[in-house]
Structure 1
Amino acid sequence: MAKEDFTLAEFADRLGRVRARMAERGLDWLIAVHPASIHWLTGSDAKSYQEFQCLLIGAASEPLRILTRHGEVNEFETCSLADEVFGFGGGETEDPIAAFARLARRHGLLGSRIGLEVPAFYLHPYHYLALRDLLGPDRVVDASDLIADLKLVKSAAEQACIREASALCDKGLERFIAELRPGASELALAGAVYETLLKQDSGIAASPINLVSGPRSAFSHGAPTGRRLAAGDFGNIEFGATAKRYTATIGRQFALGPPTRRMRELYDTVRRASDAMIAAIRAGVPASVPHEAAKRVITAAGLEPYRVHLSGYSLGPGFPPSWAESLALIGASAHRLEAGMVVTIEPPVFIGKEGLGARIIDNVLVTETGAELLSGVSRDLIIV
């Protein structure tokens, strides 16, 4: 069960650090909404994020209380460390904010200083507005970063999960390479990867596989289709594997037949940009530094207009639709790298007018002196 994935001592340490951070911010209560936050504090793996849910965390020693849709109550009670679980809805429609209001009044949240997570994907704007009006706009502060930032540095047990997930990624990629040939469809190749991952006991990653080839190779996040690969194709694959919800990702570039000079140029630029990022990473470095290192390489190659987004982000336990954490390797980042963080390395170049793109994706563990590459599979261009 999910609550047994880590020791009680580790869960207690996490809760203690959250309450210490709450005290620093003068918060009486924290309302956690993000499923990764709830998972991190209670071990819950419940598929409850499709509807309103929250975890109530008091600043002192109050019980951990979950509000979730009625269908998930049994799973929370059985598989999480929540002290009390409350359900809404049952067999009929019920306003979850009305159910929350009953809890808030019963346990003294009204009139308190409250931190509220406002995460993308998981909190409907109407629910946010209703919570703010109920609790008082002058009493509620955005605390979306409180648990998110505490989760960035991984314990030894968490690192072991990510290493396990990374080894699974390697196996999935090895299967992809073995199946890669002209005539194979993108969907069939994706199916082979998923078959390997699931048979090796990977969990289902939070984001679906990206696999593009031929004229679709300029799509930065293209889903696999029934298109059959052909000689001369250039393409890219990206997918994730999980161990106890902890995600590792991998991405590689491939060519069916000898790559053209332009294909090789794009791949070589991305490879050098990735290498520059890895060389720049170590504890104490601002998260913007490896991003800027990649930008310099891409700019020098004359490809800066085609660098389409950030150069990487932190990884941890993931829930659909994203496995990314709050730290981004990008120019505006306010984060600083710390030993124990796990980040992706993926500076991309995608040129729509040419129908070409390239991206290599690796994960590294930040250490005091550098970056440890977690994948064991070659980063070279795959040529069939």
Structure 2
Amino acid sequence: MSSRPTPPLATFPLAEYDARLARTRERMAARGLAGLLLFAQESLYYLTGYDTSGYVFFQCAVLPLDGPITLLTRRPDVAQARDTSTIDDVRVWYNAEDADPAGDLAAIVAEKGLAGHRLGVEFATYGLTAANWRAVEHALDGRATLVDASDLVRDQRLIKSPLELAHVREAGRLADLAMEAARQAAQPGRLSGEMAGAILSTTLKHGGDLPSEQPIVNSGPRAVYGRGVLGAHRLESDDQVLVEFGASHRRYMVCIERTVILGRLTDEHATMFRVVRETMEAMIGAIRPGAPLGDIDAEHRRVLDASGFGADRYGACGYSLGATFAPTWMDVPPMIYSGNPLIMQPGMVLFPHAMLGAVGSRRAVGMGHTVIVTEDGCEQLSRLPLEPLIA
């Protein structure tokens, strides 16, 4: 537990972080872990408030079962660690031809009396590359027993506290504002990038933050893509634009997906919109505490397959959201797929979405928005109707 007051730039009060650390140590003890090597930036943000992009280099925090947490990072992150996090002990490794941060980490492990003990490691994270893992494995070979503990903090993060949900709801408000700005920017002759710019500028103008991934704004035949693509494209008088993005408030992401139509709504598009709306309504109706996550995708498949669009649907229909860092706004696992046995609980934040991309005609319709699982169902964070957005 930190002896300092709440850091000036921390997202939450000190008591929130202390409670999270206490729960983490309880789980560590239950697994027989003497320490935890934290490589996931999301874990560091959750447990201490530490906010940085420095995880793209070698960075690790050592959390012992007893005693203070120690962060090993580069010099540019020292001030941010002290101003955003509850971490008092910050160690630095310097760039040099003979730099050996994995060796420095091994020295910290020994200093804390963790040598020879069982240590958990966060493997499933962008904060630990294969090259860095090989260096850590070599440096600690014979000095500690290393086991996968990627889920130890992640599982806790699935259930949001009331303080976290306040940021989630604010991100939901920003998402609606930004989607409306995107619709207004959708005019024939303009570049699709202007819609992405409207999304980002609106979010920032209203107090949000840059998202952990760029908006998806795919126009014309590119609307069938499930990912963003390079290059701005000129919008046409009769066009379709698949828009999906995450709005961020203190790194808590809320996603929304809609399809913007310029000009006339074709009969094919009208049919696709009707089917996707019915699918989303069935999926949202399946979100309730005590039910398995796979129930959502079971409804997704049931409605789309019965409609004749089964060949055009995706293999999963959403994912969990939380406080995330680049390169993605998805906070996974879990994904929402058929047969997923994870039980939904109040406080989970999910993004269910239904996407149809007709490969033959290149028509596309996507809809989705973020929900919070409640005691008796779910709270939908978007007020925008499940209808085409006509520009």
- Fold match, TM over 0.5? yes
Work out the CA distance in 2 between the residues paired with 1:132 and 1:59: 21
Residue 120 (structure 2) pairs with residue 101 (structure 1): no
Mean alpha-carbon deviation: is it higher for 347-356 or for 88-97? 88-97
2:285 aligned to 279, 282, 287, which one? Answer: 279
**CA–CA separation in structure 1 for the residues paired with 2:63 and 2:132:** 19
Return the offset for 1:110: 2.2
Q: How many residues align?
A: 383
Moved more, 245-254 or 94-103: 94-103
Equivalence for 1:200:
206
Q: Residues 167 and 250 of structure 2 are in contact (CA less than 8 Å); yes or no, is this contact kept in structure 1?
A: yes
Which residue, out of 285, 294, 298, partners 1:292? 298
Check conservation: 1:219, 1:352, Cα contact below 8 A. Answer: no
Alignment check: 8 A CA contact 1:286 1:335 kept: yes
What displacement does 1:258 show?
2.0
**Which letter maps to 2:382?**
S
The aligned residue for residue 42 of structure 1 is: 48
Q: Which amino acid aligns with 2:349?
A: V
TM-superposed CA distance for 1:335, in Å, is 1.7
Query: Do the aligned partners of 2:183 and 2:195 also contact (CA within 8 Å) in 1?
Result: no
Pick one of 78, 100, 112 that aligns with 2:83.
78
Does the Cα contact within 8 Å between 2:103 and 2:139 map onto a contact in 1?
no
Q: State whether structure 2 residue 265 is matched by structure 1 residue 259.
A: yes
Distance 1:301 1:136, change over 3 A: farther
1:318 equivalent to 2:324? Answer yes
* AA at the equivalent of 2:370: N
Instruction: Tell me the equivalent position of 1:117.
Output: 122
Distance 1:332 1:50 in 2: 34
Which letter maps to 1:285?
A
Change (3 A) 1:240 1:93: farther
- The amino acid across from 2:154 in the alignment is A
CA contact 1:185–1:225 (8 Å) conserved in 2: no
1:167 to partner: Cα distance: 0.6
Q: In the alignment, which residue of structure 1 is the partner of 2:336?
A: 329
Distance 1:133 1:215, change over 3 A: same
Equivalent residues in 2 for 1:1-384 (5 A)? 4-60=10-66, 62-90=67-95, 94-136=99-141, 139-223=145-229, 225-325=231-331, 326-384=333-391
> Can you list the C-alpha shifts for 1:139-175, whole angstroms capped at 9, x where unaligned?
2111111100101111111000010111111111121
Deviation at 1:70, TM superposition (A): 2.1
> Match of 2:4?
none
In the superposition, the TM-score normalised over structure 1's length comes to: 0.95
Residues 2 and 225 (structure 1 numbering): CA distance in 2 closer, same or farther, change over 3 Å? farther
Aligned residues: CA RMSD: 1.8
Q: Give the residue type in structure 2 aligned to 1:328.
A: M
User: Which consecutive unaligned segments of at least 5 residues does structure 2 have?
Assistant: 1-6
Runs of 4+ residues over 6 Å off in structure 1: none
Find the aligned partners of 1:331 and 1:25 in 2 and give their Cα distance: 30
Q: In the TM superposition, what whole-angstrom CA distance separates every residue of 1:210-240 from its partner, at most 9, and x where no partner exists?
A: 0011121111112463211112212210111
Query: 1:124 deviation in Å?
Result: 1.1
Q: Give yes or no for contact 2:186–2:192 (8 Å, CA) kept in 1.
A: no
Render the CA deviation track for 1:112-147: whole Å, top value 9, x for unaligned.
Answer: 111100124221112212323433488211111110
- How far apart are residue 300 of structure 1 and its match? 0.9
Contact 1:2 1:43 in 2 (8 A): no
- Point out where structure 1 has 5 or more consecutive residues left out of the alignment: none
Which whole-Å deviations, capped at 9, do the CAs of 1:281-320 have from their partners, x for residues lacking one?
Answer: 1111111111111111111122222222421111110100
Q: Please state whether the residue corresponding to 1:206 is helix, strand or coil.
A: coil
TM-score (norm 2): 0.93
* Contact map agreement 1:366 1:372 (CA 8 A) in 2: yes
Say if 1:169 and 1:93 are closer, same or farther in 2 by CA, change over 3 A: farther
Question: Which piece of structure 1 moves more, 142-151 or 301-310?
Answer: 301-310
Contact 1:109-1:135 within 8 A present in 2 as well: no
CA deviation profile, 1:316-338 (whole Å, cap 9, x unmatched) = 10100112222221125342110
Tell me if the contact between 2:62 and 2:109 (Cα under 8 Å) persists in the aligned partners.
Answer: no
Maintained 8 Å contact 1:210/1:224: no
Identical positions, percent:
33
Deviation at 1:90, TM superposition (A): 4.7
Residue 3 of structure 2 corresponds to: none
